[in-house]
Amino acid sequence: MSSPRILLVNPNFEDYLTDSLFHGLRSLLGAGVVDFPKSDPMYETYPARRRRRLYGRGFTLYGLLEDVDVDRNRCFHRAQEGDFDLVVFGDIWRNFGLFVQWAPQLRRVPLAVLDGADRIEPYPYSGLWWRVRHWWLLPRAHRRALYFKREITPWTYWFRSFLTLPPPVGRGIGLLRHMKPIAFSIPEEKVLATGTEKEKTFASHVVDEEVAPRIGGQTAYAFESEVDYYDDLRRSRFGITTKRAGWDCMRHYELAANACVPCFRALDRKPPVCAPHGLNETNCIVYHSAEDLLRKINELDESQYMRLQAGALSWARANTTVARAREFLVACGLSVL
């Protein structure tokens, strides 16, 4: 049995869901995964001076892949001719034009769509598309493709019903039955093998504006280089993370991968099917205020901390890009040798 061949249509824009999945698929399948257009920032040949201008300064995901020889010529036409086992449209919010153009022409080819936006609405059930009359009849991706969405909340059902049905009703009639949950992931080479010796309590970058002044943290980017950022995490016992525009964030994975126990504000309020998956009180500290956080940390003994640290590392290893790519392939009915 040969490995599957995949065409991954990327948005020509940084998108952590598409990019982390692509990293995992390329790591598994090599040149059997064709990125179109070429995802330049993912490759080690991408200049460091340009990488620094990427979202998140290009930390963690970018500049890692070997720039192998890949044939991108006539890729959609080759898909029509059966050259690929799966066509994946990454970041459907930015990439819906190519989906609209090519999905009807790829009737005999399995399709998948990635929705990694910090939005609870599915494509095309939001004001972005409702405000443009000639977009009202856009093809529904969930009817033609396997639809993978990162931010799924009860309100996703509401938007899917054109704001007509309460979320419990939408859930009861299965409005999202063709939608599959998915999450970010982190390259395996970024995950520590074991815990590290800790020199300080908190990591320098603190995204919680209530907590930052209490512990002397910086709410803005604290580092110019990934090396310095990771070194800070590896020397820190705890790192602060919160829901921002969406619940999922690369910061969660970076903290855990560097044996820095995540402290996640109001994690218990996250809807169960919304990413990230698997973070809980066995591998992070869930808090609701600065006082609550400091109290919980002060009450921890060393054995409890070590269990949290081991749990965080275990969670990071379960969420590598390769692990996510394998899960994705299985969900698409494909397997890898």
Q: How much of the chain exceeds pLDDT 90, in percent?
A: 84
Compute the distance between CA of residue 212 and CA of residue 137 in angstroms, rounded to an integer: 47
pTM for the predicted model, two decimal places: 0.96
How far is Cα 196 from Cα 173, in angstroms, rounded to an integer?
49
Render pLDDT for 205-219 as a digit per residue (tens, 0 to 9).
999 999 999 999 888
Token pair recorded at residue 121 = 């609405």
Contact status, residue 134 vs residue 109, Cβ threshold 8 Å: no
Say if residue 122 is in the same domain as residue 212.
no
pLDDT of residue 44: 96
Spatial CB neighbours of 258, under 8 Å, sequence gap ≥ 6: 192, 196, 230, 233, 234
Q: Determine the average pLDDT of the residues in 286-308.
A: 97
Q: Is residue 1 part of a domain?
A: no
Residue 223: the pLDDT is 87
213 domain-assigned: yes
Across all residues in the chain, what is the average pLDDT? 94
Residues in the chain: 337
Q: Are 109 and 84 within 8 A, CB to CB? A: yes
Across the range 261-276, mean pLDDT stands at 97
Query: Is 120 within 8 Å of 247 (Cβ atoms)?
Result: no
Neighbours of 228 (CB within 10 A): 12
Q: 310: Cβ–Cβ under 8 A, 6 or more apart, which residues? A: 195
Each residue of 123-142: pLDDT tens digit? 999 988 899 988 888 888 98
- State residue 62's pLDDT score: 96
Q: What's the CA gap between 279 and 293, in Å, rounded?
A: 17
Parallel, antiparallel or unpaired: strands 146-149 and 179-181? parallel
Whether residues 177 and 28 share a domain: the answer is yes
Note whether 251 and 207 are within 8 A (CB): yes
pLDDT in tens, 152-170: 999 999 999 989 999 999 9
Give CA–CA dist 325/98, Å, rounded.
Answer: 23
Domain count, the chain: 2
Mean pLDDT of 59-70: 95
Mean pLDDT within 189-193: 96
Count Cβ atoms within 10 A of the Cβ of residue 303 and give its class: 0-12 exposed, 13-18 middle, 19 or more buried.
exposed
User: What residue numbers bound the domain in which 88 lies?
Assistant: 6-184+321-331
Instruction: Grade residue 1 by pLDDT with cuts at 50, 70 and 90.
Output: low
Q: Which residue has the higher pLDDT, 196 or 165?
A: 165
Instruction: For residues 267 and 169, state if they share a domain.
Output: no
Indicate if 159 and 92 belong to the same structural domain. yes
pLDDT, average across residues 70-97: 96
Residue 153 CA to residue 247 CA, distance in Å, equals 10
Q: How big is the chain by its Cα radius of gyration, in Å?
A: 21
CATH number at residue 250: 3.40.50
Going by pLDDT thresholds of 50, 70 and 90, the confidence category of residue 55 is: confident
| Same domain? 163 vs 209 | no
Residue 175 is given by DSSP the state T
pLDDT band of residue 195 (cuts 50, 70, 90) is: confident
Q: Going by C-beta distance under 8 Å and a sequence separation of 6 or more, which residues neighbour residue 67?
A: 43, 44, 45
Q: Is residue 275 part of a domain?
A: yes
What is the dihedral sign for C-alpha 126, 131, 136, 139? negative
Give the residue-averaged pLDDT of 248-266.
97
> Residue 220's pLDDT is what?
81
Same-domain pairing of 91 and 234: no
pLDDT grade, residue 247 (50/70/90)? very high
CA 70 and chain centroid, separation: 25
Average pLDDT for 66-78: 96
8 A C-beta contact, residue 91 and residue 15: yes
Residues 127 and 270 in one domain: no
